[in-house]
Amino acid sequence: MELPFRYILTVSELTREIKDLLELRFPDIWIEGEVSNLRTPPSGHVYFTLKDDLSQIRAVLFKNQARTLRFLLEDGLHIISRGRVSLYEKRGEYQLILEEVEPRGIGALQLAFLQLKERLEREGLFDVAHKKPLPLIPQTIGIVTSPTGAVIRDMLHIIHRRFENVHILLYPVRVQGEGASAEISSAIEYLNKRTNVDVIIVGRGGGSLEDLWPFNEEVVARAIYNSKVPVISAVGHETDYTISDFVADLRAPTPSAAAELVVKDKHEVKRIVHNLKEKLRNRIFQIFQENRTHLLNLKMRLKDPRRKVEEYLLRADELFNRFRVVISWVLSREREGTSHLAERLHLQSPIQKVKNLRSVLADKKRRLSQAFRHSVEIRRQRLAGVTGKLDSLSPLSVLQRGYSITRKLPGFEILREAIHVKEGDKVEIRLYKGTLLCGVDKTKTP
């Protein structure tokens, strides 16, 4: 009986066929969902999960497409995306390869604006404490804008009309389109480093959100924030707001308003100075009486409340002292408990035991070394005594005191009495150092 023919696929072949079917069936689709599990490895590709209430699917946005996004993808963001369905063969998982991504319910530029505004605000770029005051009467004004159009003409006309002696330094830039933000930030940095301007106006006329976008770029915001010279942002119309408006030291609703804010009318300044001079003169004569009256009024108004305040202060001091005593007692108990636990832990610590054993070992080693040196010293002294005795009994010691040893030649018999030699005999006399060979001329006996 013949077995029926079976067509057997490998895992790779089956996976490849499924991939072909998915890519053929879903080559270009729009899909919406919520971003979760977002991650961006060093490769620059963006991986995340797109989900709704019931299901989820993996998605990837490759680096080249991710660079075109005006906003930042983040977990929890609801998006609408376009792409194709594919399958990652190594893991057998299907996924979305995305080409376009946009936020649901809000424009991409508006979302990018809000995200950048929130991030820079967290960093403190909008902090009021960082804003610099404008000079009262600037000598030189730097203007960063397009060299053509009505904006620069209006600002120059207003400035010269109000204070004709002010110098104007124009740094021409593009105020919309690709590369405009880089030119604007470079202009601000140049005016800070290479010129002596007292204030900088950065601006342009009105337009759409796309037209005003260079002033929403992070590079422009950071250039304004890092500027040592006060910066006025004058972008668009009064209802237009850009990131540069929030970072700048002062926001002007229009470029013309910026020109009016940066300089005061010369005649008005003179009139104000004159009036202030007169007011100051009059005020000097009145100030003492006014202060005296004011102090009397305050004294009458604060007569009764002052006593109540004193009572509250005394009560507050009492409560504070009681609180301090209680806290001190609690902290003392906690400190004692902690100290006890620390001591127990210190005693039970293997490291401390090792230290103790090392200390004992070092002590025993020291005592053994002392005992060894003491024993060696005793034996050295004993050896020195024996050596001294040997030296005293040595013939050399006797010779050293001036004595000598005389031996008769040629037999080398030691002579103790003169009668053992006669005239003409040869003798050897051994001294402490050296030997004498002598002949006997005469003997003498006692």
Q: What is the CATH number of the domain that holds 106?
A: 2.40.50.140
The answer to whether residues 36 and 106 belong to one domain is: yes
Residue by residue, DSSP assigns 58-121 as EEEE-HHHHTT-SS---TT-EEEEEEEEEEETTTTEEEEEEEEEEETTS-HHHHHHHHHHHHHH
Last residue of a domain, one of 264, 287, 304: 264
For tokens 């018999």, name the residue. Answer: 413
Last residue of a domain, one of 264, 299, 327: 264
The answer to whether residues 145 and 220 belong to one domain is: yes
Which residues make beta-bridge pairs with 408? 413, 427
The answer to whether residue 368 is domain-embedded is: yes
- Stretches where the chain sits below pLDDT 70 are 1-5, 105-110, 302-310, 346-349, 352, 392-394, 396-400, 402, 446
pLDDT value for 143: 92
Find, among 430, 441, 444, the residue nearest to 400 by Cα: 430
The answer to whether residue 260 is domain-embedded is: yes
pLDDT value for 183: 92
The answer to whether residue 325 is domain-embedded is: no
- Structural domain count of the chain: 5
The answer to whether residues 164 and 260 belong to one domain is: yes
pLDDT value for 216: 86
Query: Directed axis angle between helix 303-348 and helix 350-393, to 10°?
Result: 50
- 32 contacts: CB under 8 Å, gap ≥ 6: 78, 79, 80, 81, 104
- How many Å apart are CA 180 and CA 213, to the nearest integer? 9
Helix, strand, or coil here: 198?
coil
The answer to whether residues 253 and 288 belong to one domain is: no
The answer to whether residues 287 and 251 belong to one domain is: no
The answer to whether residue 197 is domain-embedded is: yes
The answer to whether residues 386 and 414 belong to one domain is: no
For tokens 């080398």, name the residue. Answer: 412
- How many Å apart are CA 141 and CA 163, to the nearest integer? 12
Helix, strand, or coil here: 423?
coil
The answer to whether residues 142 and 254 belong to one domain is: yes
- How many Å apart are CA 151 and CA 344, to the nearest integer? 79
The answer to whether residues 196 and 220 belong to one domain is: yes
Query: Residue 81 sits in which domain range?
Result: 11-113
The answer to whether residue 6 is domain-embedded is: no
pLDDT value for 365: 85
The answer to whether residues 70 and 106 belong to one domain is: yes
User: At CA 285, angle to CA 284 and CA 289, rounded to 5?
Assistant: 105
The answer to whether residue 343 is domain-embedded is: no
Radius of gyration of the chain (CA): 53
Digit-coded pLDDT (tens) for 239-278: 878 888 899 999 998 988 888 888 887 777 778 888 888 8
pLDDT value for 229: 93
| Contact indicator for 163, 264 with CB cutoff of 8 Å | yes
Find, among 188, 163, 306, the residue nearest to 249 by Cα: 188
- How many Å apart are CA 340 and CA 345, to the nearest integer? 8
Q: Read off φ and ψ for residue 133, nearest 5 degrees.
A: -75, 150
Q: What is the CATH number of the domain that holds 176?
A: 3.40.50.960
The answer to whether residues 141 and 165 belong to one domain is: yes
pTM over 0.75: no
The answer to whether residue 446 is domain-embedded is: no
Helix, strand, or coil here: 325?
helix
Find, among 313, 181, 200, the residue nearest to 250 by Cα: 200
Pairing relationship of beta strands 93-103 and 140-145 according to DSSP bridges: unpaired
The answer to whether residues 187 and 166 belong to one domain is: yes
The answer to whether residues 290 and 228 belong to one domain is: no
The answer to whether residue 203 is domain-embedded is: yes
